Structure 1
Amino acid sequence: MSVAIRHLDTTQADFEAEFHRVLHWSAETDDAIEQRVAEILADVRVRGDAAVLEYTQRFDHLQATSVAALELTRDELRAALEAITPAQRAALESAAARVRSYHERQLEACGRSWSYRDDDGTLLGQKVTPLDRVGIYVPGGKAAYPSSVLMNAIPAQVAGVGEIVMVVPTPRGERNPLVLAAAYVAGVHRAFTVGGAQAVAALAYGTATIPRVDKITGPGNAYVASAKRRVFGQVGIDMIAGPSEILVLADGSTPPDWVAMDLFSQAEHDELAQSILLSPDAAYIAKVQEAIDRLLPAMPRRDVIRASLEGRGALILTRSMDEACAISNRIAPEHLEISSSEPSRWEPLLKHAGAIFLGAFTSESLGDYCAGPNHVLPTSGTARFSSPLGVYDFQKRTSLIEVSEAGAQVLGPIAAELAYGEGLQAHARAAELRLKNDNGGSR
């Protein structure tokens, strides 16, 4: 049975209306979820460990005598690494090495303190310091993502964060050994088998056992997303992520099966994930549709893929690759593949994307696991103003100012003039008192 994915054409009169229908996604959360999350956060804030333990027993069916009993030791994490297959260990350590190397280069490029002195001897600069403690949330249960451990913990480690605290739900005590092994490889300092809104609350407010952190990163379900949104301000957060997205710009030179599978790679995440193809070649789009229909029956998650493609997917015929790039900028996708024989020709035209994958051999899945750049990316069009998770998310910047006596003579009158204009006399006088010719007056 053919997959009923939308076919759009930019030359059609109704294109804009249909295009908006494809992109529409409501980020509004269920009122019942919001109310439940608010109750859980308030309870954990007041009762601490007791509330965390109660919710863990209720939601994850994990029995424990204390929250301390839910902490994983470094020995347990190391044992998990030693228990996985040699192939899994080699893949995990290779991926970690590439992710670490990329973020070390990122640190060199943007994560260092700097300063300079101007002509009058005034020192100006920026002091970059790592956060003291961060929490990373790792999904568990039906989904287990060791790659998320690497992508969240390694840039924090490279940034110099003092303590990395991981929380991961383990429903009915089922621990994923790859997740635990990844935590060891990535340098996680403490790990707790706690999940959901209660884990976010514990990290944000602190309990007797789980330490309060400065920032929380990592994906989760609707309860986790709602909790992160609510605790923002008490702590920092990375982002509120929407459904996963892939946009493929294709000039017709890539085998259609490759593109079809790349569209599947995001559609298999969940029914709300979005997969879009933009191409100026109508015959090629037909070949991709044929590949989708032929390859889908063999996919284990075919029902999820079909629902995603039929609900939010699209194959869009454009007038040209230039127009395809312009439409891509309007979408600002999470993952953007330039499946072209000349990717470097089109990349300069693309302004908004979480990550750009250049050329037919650069499948998005390589970026998810082992290429090196971070796979935590802005979704739902937020790539227009947001960036991938990186070393800079685990650092803060402090301005440095040291004004010399000569500099005070230059800057003082400027500051005083502006301060008087704002009606802030104390500001003005503080600047004027440093002037050699100050007569003690004020306006």
Structure 2
Amino acid sequence: MTSRIELARVDLRGRTPTTAQLRTALPRGGVDVDSVLHQVRPVVEAIRDRGAAAALEFGAKFDGVTPDSVRVPAQRLAAALDELDPAVRAALEVAIDRTRAVHADQRRTDTTTEVVPGGTVTERWVPVERVGLYVPGGNAVYPSSVVMNVVPAQAAGVESLVVASPPQQQFEGLPHPTILAAARLLGVEEVWAVGGAQAVALLSYGGTDTDGADLLPVDLITGPGNIYVTAAKRLCRGLVGIDAEAGPTEIAVLADATADPVHVAADLISQAEHDVLAASVLVTDSPELADAVDAALTAQLTVVKHAERVTTALTGTQSGTVLVDDIEQGLRVVNAYAAEHLEIQTADAAAVAARVRSAGAIFVGPYAPVSLGDYCAGSNHVLPTAGCARHSSGLSVQTFLRGIHVVEYSETALKDVAGHVVALADAEDLPAHGQAVRARFEALS
């Protein structure tokens, strides 16, 4: 029998904490990436030196299986799609269609600005040439993460991409067949059976497969993973680009007395289901709602499949209820918290949501739960965690694009501004900068 769940409470009523004080007072999860760098560094260095052979050795050690090759044969991708449950295939097709529709509208167009007659600056948007898209294993299977990583890369015009996902003992050393099927459905031709830190390192350095084929390195790696994946991203950053150092998932719900406690409890549980470190936070001006949510959590946990994992997450220091005086103060709290996923379940939810400035994604009203965004809203579910939504965005088409400024000036336009360039160069004690302009006109002066 499940014991009563009572979320830990932080009572801010009658107080006016500063933003800095809120950041320390609010429940917050996270992981100490530095604590595992010493374990991950030898993995990265071994793959740098020995390539795929080392990656396969670490796969045997950490995943308990060694695939015949790193690259999954094309026929196995096709077979996985052929054997996919029709209901799952239909759901993936809906998710893909909606995600493509949203991300197609994110594509930027080149812009040319005429600064002066004869002088223009054009911003060209150029896709990254080759990307590695990581799809984790662990507690669950994530075909949705294949969709969320692949679709924006394709919309950006990336020509070469590879999906990497851990080999599974029960599937002959291949990634989970639903992962393979999702990749095939999206038209992905290159999938690597490699996971964890060794996947990040192999994507960064490349290598030679067991059949002698090249495993080409990538320019950018995206996709969430555990603390070891995050540590490897940190170690390889610079050699390759990374999307973010993602931490455990989190949800915050800003709710008032109009919210349905059954809905709120279900949504808090849905994110706690991911990981014992997942954060579930309720912010409310209604103590009665807080009590009702605790009761609903207790009732729902009697039928939740992963009740032990969920209970550990809900009772951890990263989860809790924050009591506030009113929704105005609640907005200050959620903006300081900057949740990965933020639900607004209040009266006039759209108006309240419009005042949120820091969140990875915002879910408005009773019929936009976070789980909708995880799969079929059309939005992307690869989002900033641990407060990074204060300064960072989720995965999008822009992640896979580079803005390149193209400068074109005529002789007259340069001559017109030459004196200013020389003045600024001299002010910075960089006279050769000015001379680079003078040299073009000395014969004319």
- TM-score range for the pair, normalised by the shorter chain length: over 0.9
> How far is the alpha carbon of 1:425 from its aligned partner?
1.6
2:31 counterpart letter in structure 1 = A
> How far is the alpha carbon of 1:177 from its aligned partner?
2.0
Per the alignment, residue 12 of structure 2 pairs with 10
Per the alignment, residue 387 of structure 2 pairs with 381
Q: Give the alignment partner of residue 392 of structure 1, picking from 395, 398, 417.
A: 398
Per the alignment, residue 159 of structure 1 pairs with 156
Give the gaps of 5 or more residues in structure 2.
209-213
Residues 139-193 of structure 1, C-alpha deviations (whole Å, 9 max, x = no match) = 1254210011100111111111111111111232524222111111223231111
Please say if residues 34 and 231 of structure 2, whose CA atoms lie closer than 8 Å, have aligned partners that are also in contact. no
Secondary structure of the residue aligned to 2:103 is: helix
Secondary structure of the residue aligned to 2:257 is: coil
1:269 pairs with 2:270:
no
Deviates more, 1:305-314 or 1:377-386: 305-314
Distance 1:414 1:173 in 2: 69
1:130 pairs with 2:157:
no
Q: CA RMSD in A?
A: 2.0
2:382 counterpart letter in structure 1 = V
Distance 1:211 1:332 in 2: 37
Secondary structure of the residue aligned to 2:302 is: helix
Please say if residues 8 and 15 of structure 1, whose CA atoms lie closer than 8 Å, have aligned partners that are also in contact. no
Per the alignment, residue 222 of structure 1 pairs with 227
Per the alignment, residue 431 of structure 1 pairs with 437
Per the alignment, residue 250 of structure 1 pairs with 255
1:290 pairs with 2:295:
yes
1:147 pairs with 2:144:
yes
1:71 counterpart letter in structure 2 = R
Deviates more, 1:268-277 or 1:331-340: 268-277
Q: Give the alignment partner of residue 418 of structure 2, picking from 412, 415, 435.
A: 412
Per the alignment, residue 338 of structure 1 pairs with 344
1:76 pairs with 2:76:
yes
Call closer, same or farther: CA 1:26–1:180 in 2, change over 3 Å.
Answer: closer
Secondary structure of the residue aligned to 1:319 is: coil
Give the gaps of 5 or more residues in structure 1.
none
Residues 201-241 of structure 1, C-alpha deviations (whole Å, 9 max, x = no match) = 11101112321000111111221111111000000001011
Distance 2:296 2:56 in 1: 49
Residues 37-80 of structure 1, C-alpha deviations (whole Å, 9 max, x = no match) = 11111111111122122222222232345xxx232233322221
1:210 pairs with 2:215:
yes
1:316 counterpart letter in structure 2 = V
Per the alignment, residue 189 of structure 1 pairs with 189
1:41 pairs with 2:41:
no
Distance 2:418 2:77 in 1: 58
Secondary structure of the residue aligned to 2:58 is: helix
Please say if residues 246 and 384 of structure 2, whose CA atoms lie closer than 8 Å, have aligned partners that are also in contact. yes
Please say if residues 141 and 171 of structure 1, whose CA atoms lie closer than 8 Å, have aligned partners that are also in contact. no
> How far is the alpha carbon of 1:36 from its aligned partner?
2.4
Distance 1:408 1:18 in 2: 52
Deviates more, 1:303-312 or 1:122-131: 303-312
Residues 399-422 of structure 1, C-alpha deviations (whole Å, 9 max, x = no match) = 011012221122211111000111
> How far is the alpha carbon of 1:6 from its aligned partner?
1.1
Call closer, same or farther: CA 1:388–1:436 in 2, change over 3 Å.
Answer: same
1:104 counterpart letter in structure 2 = A
Q: Give the alignment partner of residue 319 of structure 2, picking from 305, 310, 313.
A: 313
Secondary structure of the residue aligned to 1:264 is: helix
Secondary structure of the residue aligned to 1:72 is: coil
Distance 1:45 1:363 in 2: 43
Distance 2:67 2:334 in 1: 50
Call closer, same or farther: CA 1:13–1:112 in 2, change over 3 Å.
Answer: closer
Secondary structure of the residue aligned to 1:223 is: helix
1:334 counterpart letter in structure 2 = E
Distance 1:6 1:19 in 2: 17
1:61 pairs with 2:67:
no
Distance 1:113 1:320 in 2: 45
Residues 10-42 of structure 1, C-alpha deviations (whole Å, 9 max, x = no match) = 1266989898354344532364x3222111111
1:50 pairs with 2:53:
yes
Distance 2:397 2:190 in 1: 20
Secondary structure of the residue aligned to 1:71 is: coil
Distance 2:218 2:308 in 1: 39
Secondary structure of the residue aligned to 1:373 is: coil
Please say if residues 28 and 319 of structure 2, whose CA atoms lie closer than 8 Å, have aligned partners that are also in contact. no
1:112 pairs with 2:109:
yes
Per the alignment, residue 200 of structure 1 pairs with 200
Distance 1:34 1:85 in 2: 40
TM-score using structure 1 length? 0.92
> How far is the alpha carbon of 1:9 from its aligned partner?
2.2
2:370 counterpart letter in structure 1 = E
1:85 counterpart letter in structure 2 = D
Distance 1:325 1:18 in 2: 12
> How far is the alpha carbon of 1:259 from its aligned partner?
0.6
Distance 2:66 2:131 in 1: 26
Distance 1:343 1:121 in 2: 51
Q: Give the alignment partner of residue 245 of structure 2, picking from 240, 247, 257.
A: 240
Secondary structure of the residue aligned to 1:330 is: helix
2:41 counterpart letter in structure 1 = A
Call closer, same or farther: CA 1:148–1:64 in 2, change over 3 Å.
Answer: closer
2:180 counterpart letter in structure 1 = L
Aligned positions, number: 432
> How far is the alpha carbon of 1:437 from its aligned partner?
8.7
Q: Give the alignment partner of residue 29 of structure 1, picking from 15, 25, 33.
A: 33
Call closer, same or farther: CA 1:184–1:47 in 2, change over 3 Å.
Answer: same
Q: Which has the higher helix share?
A: 1
1:102 pairs with 2:102:
yes
